[in-house]
Structure 1
Amino acid sequence: MADKEETGTVKVSADQPQTMKHSARSIAMGAAFLMAMAAVGPGFLTQTATFTGQMGANFGFAILVCIIVDIIVQMNIWRIIVVSGKRAQVIANEVLPGLGYLLSFLVALGGLFFNIGNIGGAGLGLNVLFGISPENGAVIAAAVAIGIFVVKNALTVMDRTVQLLAIVKIGILIYIISVMAVPYQSAIQHTFVPTQLSFYAIVTIVGGTVGGYISFAGGHRLLEGGLKGKENIKYVNEGALTGIGIASAIRVMLFLAGLSVVVLGDKLDPTNPAASIFRYAAGNFGYRFFGLLLLAAGMTSTLGSTFTSTSFLDYAVSSKGQSKYNQYRKWIIIGFIVVSTAIFYFIGSPAQVLVVVGTLNGFILPIALAILLLASTKEKIIGDYHHPRLLIYTGWLVVIFMAYASINTLIGLF
């Protein structure tokens, strides 16, 4: 990444100037939007629409489980990363030598495959809006993403771009909801009392929302901005809960829009279920809106996936090592985006990949969370910080549940 605007460590206490508090809060909000918009990518749209079409109102229960898991996972991971002041892969190596390299491999590989779908989604969005071929659209989107990462003050530019595109996504979904007859009563009833349960749906949407690289996007962004130490827990909490709230609100709106179509007896197109929702809602005009949403989703997830996945290749633990890594980081980022784009350009068909990789990220989640929970008990990693017992206990419950659900899903595939 090019020259960074934010360096050093931001330490905030009650007696410090408001400008310092504003800086910390700005970094936290940047992390919140990066995490949320990394989650709300083309895979998010495809998964939500696919399962809404298959399960109807019962999919609301899977979303509820997903939100609860999101809160537990993000609050655990963000806190442990920021308190330790170390990236997740460095923490993992301190838990057990070599474990960090395994975690990096799993996260970076999942991020790469997700990025194929992200770049492809942005290309498809440009195709819908301007008639450009999806392949050429993907090349344009990749060029824009690379431009954002290599400019001066790249972190700030990335944050502002992600926040602007988040507003676009939310605005489009609010409009679509407003023109549809949403069955709120059925949605609420089946969310809390489902008549159908799918572990595959739960594993996939949890994996697509908080699995793989997405779990670490916010925590690593906080470190990059200089937020370290237990004195910044307040901003960790604000950032994590804000990010989860944004991602959850967008998923609920898309679910309600899809449900509005399903209850009328219409079938969503399995090749592009999310586009079907917008076409049913507002005809060709709605389809154009979908193109804009897909473009925004593809771009924000490309930025989030690229930033987080490449951050897992950084094992520097000293300023000298960090400086050496930063010399090559720009080229690693460019390479990551170029490889993702080339695979899409020559292979294409990202929709199926997005659902499958979401499931893969769901498998990675219990492994990654277990590593961080083990780290939360080691004084050499977190110092004199005492991680809340409630987060530890609920975190291990998520590890057990997601491991069980992942195994159950794997068995069901054969």
Structure 2
Amino acid sequence: MTEKLSSSDSSEAPRETPAADPVAGDDKAIKGVKRGTLLGAVFLMATSAIGPGFIAQTTTFTVQMGAAFAFAILLSIIIDIAVQLNVWRVIGISGLRAQELGNRVLPGLGVLMAVLVVFGGLVFNIGNVAGASLGLDALLGLDVKIGGAVSAAIAIGIFLSKRAGIAMDRIVVVLGVVMVVLTLYVAIASSPPVGEALRQSVIPDDIDFLVITTLIGGTVGGYITYAGAHRLIDAGVTGPEQIKDVSRSAVVSLLVTGVMRAVLFLAILGVVVGGVTLAGENPAAQAFESAAGEVGLRMFGMILWGAGITSVVGASYTSVSFIVSFSPALKRRQNWLVVGFIAVAVTVFLILNQAPTKLLILAGALNGLILPVGFGVLMYVAYRRRDLLRGYRYPRWLLVIGTAAWLLTLYLGWNALSGIAKLWS
């Protein structure tokens, strides 16, 4: 059987008490955690947050709002920081996955969280396959149906490999770096109005709640919230003794996502301000081609395919991590469940006739509605369940910004409910 996605890829002991954690209090074990696994956790979250959904959303909303979209970008980064710093810390210190914490707070709540995340992850994964298909279309001229099937097959191959955990870590790191570098090149080539974008990031001419909620859902909602933190649990980086590694990983992942969001927005904005009309099923590809010619189009194809394949991996791995803890039998078959999850997503993609871009935007909106539920549970643990945090005294400043972010996600989600039906029509 293939290697399970577990600690540095060793077997995982029950995490009921501090003593059961495989590395708690052991300095040599802490130092022995592979750097590649930690980087894998960082880029698993980062590439999930800057997947094809974000690329499609950024293009669509930049065309719609122009420089005013900078406000939504900035707000999404701020909320991302508030959410991820709390999520990584609560999950990392407790050594329990989000659904396990939910069941400790209220029996059955973790099951509800798992259902919501798996459903949102499946919808998003259909969009991820769609994004990967658009990438191969721009890169190689492949039909989108063929490109989607090929991309899904590659993702399945990763989880069927004998060292699935290491393979996943390496591919998300390499492709994540490639995506950032190529996008930065195109952002410089498109000569965007940086000053106007900076002004509108704090004083926008237009504010759209559905746009903001969709963007937040596509970058930190649903499964994306937990991708990196759950991977750290499998890497054995848990407990109060690991707080430095947990915090450092969270900060690095936030830096990567923040840079990518900013440069992608500026790349598209430069093209839009230049008077180019972006339309059709793949407007982002048109933007990159306009900025850097044929080379830009091929570069975009590589960026979007990289975003798609890494997000397929991240969505599948994280969604399945929400169900395997409910049964040892499920845990033993984790890789096969991931394979099945990918297979379902690509099958639905192949039989649907909806435009890939619309799927990606809808997925972000749905994940934005799921976000307040799971994040609310983790904030409750931070406030009231010190026993689950192994006696760790939670920083008051993190409680404050986490609560503010949670209230804002509730408000944005409520305002966006009426807009989702319109988005799909």
Question: Within 5 Å, which residues of 2 pair with 1:226-305?
Answer: 226-269=236-279, 271-305=281-315
AA at the equivalent of 2:3: D
AA at the equivalent of 2:342: I
Aligned-pair CA distance for 1:313:
0.6
Equivalent pair of 1:28/1:236 in contact (CA under 8 Å): no
Equivalent pair of 1:35/1:218 in contact (CA under 8 Å): yes
Normalising by structure 1, report the TM-score.
Answer: 0.93
Which range moved further: 219-228 or 175-184? 175-184
Aligned-pair CA distance for 1:93:
0.8
Q: SS state of the match for residue 380, structure 1?
A: coil
Q: Which residue of 2 aligns with 1:387?
A: 394
AA at the equivalent of 2:95: G
1:232 and 1:182 map into 2 onto residues whose CA distance is 42
Question: Within 5 Å, which residues of 2 pair with 1:93-132?
Answer: 93-132=103-142
Aligned-pair CA distance for 1:378:
1.0
AA at the equivalent of 1:6: D
* Alignment partner of 2:339 out of 316, 328, 334: 334
Deviations 1:136-172 (A, max 9, x none): 2212111111111121221111011011111221121
Q: Does 1:6 align with 2:19?
A: no
2:147 and 2:138 map into 1 onto residues whose CA distance is 10
* Alignment partner of 1:352 out of 358, 366, 370: 358
1:75 and 1:383 map into 2 onto residues whose CA distance is 18
2:323 and 2:396 map into 1 onto residues whose CA distance is 31
Equivalent pair of 2:221/2:368 in contact (CA under 8 Å): yes
**Structure 2 spans left out of the alignment, 5+ residues:** 13-20
Equivalent pair of 2:36/2:170 in contact (CA under 8 Å): no
1:265 and 1:124 map into 2 onto residues whose CA distance is 24
2:335 and 2:102 map into 1 onto residues whose CA distance is 25
2:65 and 2:32 map into 1 onto residues whose CA distance is 44
Aligned-pair CA distance for 1:33:
0.4
Q: Does 1:343 align with 2:348?
A: yes
Equivalent pair of 2:49/2:219 in contact (CA under 8 Å): yes
Deviations 1:217-271 (A, max 9, x none): 0110000111110111111111111111111111111110111112223222153
Q: SS state of the match for residue 278, structure 2?
A: coil
AA at the equivalent of 2:405: V
1:56 and 1:297 map into 2 onto residues whose CA distance is 23
Equivalent pair of 1:369/1:399 in contact (CA under 8 Å): yes
* Alignment partner of 1:310 out of 295, 315, 320: 320
Deviations 1:279-321 (A, max 9, x none): 21122322122111111111010010011001011225xxxx5
2:155 and 2:95 map into 1 onto residues whose CA distance is 28
Question: Within 5 Å, which residues of 2 pair with 1:132-281?
Answer: 132-269=142-279, 271-281=281-291
Equivalent pair of 2:47/2:311 in contact (CA under 8 Å): yes
2:351 and 2:419 map into 1 onto residues whose CA distance is 32
2:160 and 2:271 map into 1 onto residues whose CA distance is 42
Q: Which residue of 2 aligns with 1:16?
A: 27
Q: Which residue of 1 aligns with 2:370?
A: 364
Q: Does 1:397 align with 2:397?
A: no
Aligned-pair CA distance for 1:204:
0.9
1:124 and 1:267 map into 2 onto residues whose CA distance is 19
Q: Which residue of 1 aligns with 2:17?
A: none
Equivalent pair of 1:179/1:281 in contact (CA under 8 Å): yes
AA at the equivalent of 1:269: A
AA at the equivalent of 1:164: V
Q: SS state of the match for residue 381, structure 1?
A: coil
Q: SS state of the match for residue 3, structure 1?
A: coil
2:183 and 2:252 map into 1 onto residues whose CA distance is 18
Deviations 1:5-40 (A, max 9, x none): 522456377x935x8426265433221100000111
Report how many aligned residue pairs link the two structures: 407
Q: SS state of the match for residue 404, structure 1?
A: helix
Aligned-pair CA distance for 1:176:
0.7
1:21 and 1:12 map into 2 onto residues whose CA distance is 12
1:46 and 1:39 map into 2 onto residues whose CA distance is 12
Aligned-pair CA distance for 1:412:
4.8
Counterparts in 2 of 1:350 and 1:260: CA distance versus 1, 3 Å: same
2:275 and 2:360 map into 1 onto residues whose CA distance is 26
Q: Percent identity?
A: 42
Q: Does 1:375 align with 2:385?
A: no
Equivalent pair of 1:40/1:209 in contact (CA under 8 Å): yes
1:315 and 1:131 map into 2 onto residues whose CA distance is 41
Q: Which residue of 1 aligns with 2:18?
A: none
Counterparts in 2 of 1:184 and 1:334: CA distance versus 1, 3 Å: same
Equivalent pair of 1:29/1:242 in contact (CA under 8 Å): no
**Structure 1 spans left out of the alignment, 5+ residues:** none
Counterparts in 2 of 1:365 and 1:139: CA distance versus 1, 3 Å: same
* RMSD, aligned α-carbons: 1.9
